[in-house]
Amino acid sequence: MYKILKKRVLNETICLMDVEAPRCAAHCQPGQFVIVRTDEGAERIPLTVCDYDRDAGVVTIVFQVVGAGTLRMMNMEEGEYFHDFVGPLGQPSELTLETAEALKSKKILFVAGGLGTAPVYPQVKYLHELGVDADVIVGAKTKDILIMEDEMKAVAGNLYITTDDGSYGRSGMVTKVIEDLYAEGKKYDLCVAIGPMIMMKFVCKLTKTLDLPTIVSMNPIMVDGTGMCGACRLIVGDEVKFACVDGPEFDGFLVDFDQAMKRQNLYKTEEGRKYLLEQEKETHHGGCGQCN
């Protein structure tokens, strides 16, 4: 059992929780995720790690209410317990594989859209602790759904806030901010974009014209979190990959976003899942590849 130590409602549908999970906290890295179950028999919910404190044995998660399982999570209070809290899972950010000296030689730009701010934060914090100040763009539809601004401000080199409706910060999409920064003379060696798939797609279209290598996180398409359900199957270059096993981060220039978004819509219905299983056959599942 995993105790909820702190609960903070960030807005009407998004909640932050600190969870007592010592073994997970001891090993997790930026970019990885956990699977949470509220009680025995409940659905498995994959959530990207937002933060961790190894000494305290605490892992921070941020989630949005999108269905019955996450609504049940939102209704839980401090002092209550999750039945399962499994992790870390997935591959850590490739930034964790580089030396501090190598990272300090790079200019890195992070682009976070909506809930994508949560998985961006631990990567920016990780770099900050190594003495690397990265620039961060955080986009939201309106000021009301902007999250973790103060936390991000504390670790980012420069923080640029933009809202679609212009209600706070700059006005417009995150791609407009990237264009503005380049027009101001900014240059970067790497971009990490995390958010809705449509946002990541258009960030990659722009950064490709700028010759700016871009990493994206495909955590939005994960369901089971082990590769057995086939939900997060995607095409990266000419290869079949699974976000939960091989990722969740990939080279954004190689991800077929159109195929992934079309497939995500099909997977939502039972008929669609059967269609995908018949079409993809043995490549439908990750992990062992033979699950039925």
Phi, psi at residue 74, to the nearest 5°?
-60, -30
Q: Is residue 168 part of a domain?
A: yes
Residue 15 sits in a domain whose CATH number is 2.40.30.10
Locate the DSSP E strands across 156-212. Answer: 158-163, 170-171, 190-194
CA–CA distance, 269 with 264 (Å, rounded to integer): 10
Task: Please give the pLDDT value at position 81.
Answer: 95
Quick check: helix, strand or coil at residue 213? Answer: coil
Task: Please indicate, yes or no, if residue 252 is contained in any of the structural domains.
Answer: no
Same-domain status, 65 and 106:
no
Q: Tell me if the bond preceding 88 is cis, omega within 30° of 0.
A: yes
- Asked, for residue 238, whether it belongs to a domain, the answer is yes
Asked whether 227 and 277 are in contact (CB, 8 A), the reply is no
Is residue 207 helix, strand or coil?
helix
Q: What is the pTM (predicted TM-score) of this model?
A: 0.86
Query: Is 194 part of a structural domain of the chain?
Result: yes
CATH number where 201 lies: 3.40.50.80
253: in domain: no
> For residue 202, what are the contacts with CB-CB under 8 A and spacing of at least 6?
173, 175
Per-residue pLDDT of the chain (292 residues; tens, 9 = 90+): 899 999 999 988 899 999 999 999 999 999 999 999 998 888 888 888 999 999 999 999 999 888 888 899 999 999 999 999 988 988 899 999 999 999 999 999 999 998 899 999 999 999 999 999 999 999 998 888 899 999 999 999 999 999 988 889 898 999 999 999 999 999 999 999 999 989 999 999 999 999 999 999 987 666 665 556 666 777 889 888 877 777 789 999 999 888 877 776 655 566 656 646 656 566 666 654 434 4
Is residue 79 located within the same domain as residue 105?
Answer: no
Asked, for residue 69, whether it belongs to a domain, the answer is yes
Domain hosting 33: range is 2-89
Pairing of strands 135-140, 158-163: parallel
Residue where one domain finishes, among candidates 61, 89, 117 = 89
Tell me whether residue 108 is in a domain. yes
What distance in Å separates the CA atoms of residue 144 and residue 10, rounded to the nearest whole number?
Answer: 9
The answer to whether position 213 is within a domain reads yes
pLDDT of residue 134: 95
What is the pLDDT at residue 262? 76
Cα gap 115→233, rounded to integer Å: 22
What local confidence, expressed as pLDDT, does residue 291 receive? 42
CA atoms within a 13 Å half-sphere pointing along the CA-CB vector of 132: 23
Cα 111 from Cα 182, distance rounded (Å): 14
Q: Which residues pair with 233 in a beta bridge?
A: 242
Say yes or no: 9 and 65 in one domain.
Answer: yes
DSSP label of 97: G
Do 213 and 120 lie in a common domain? Answer: yes
Same domain, 115 and 180: yes
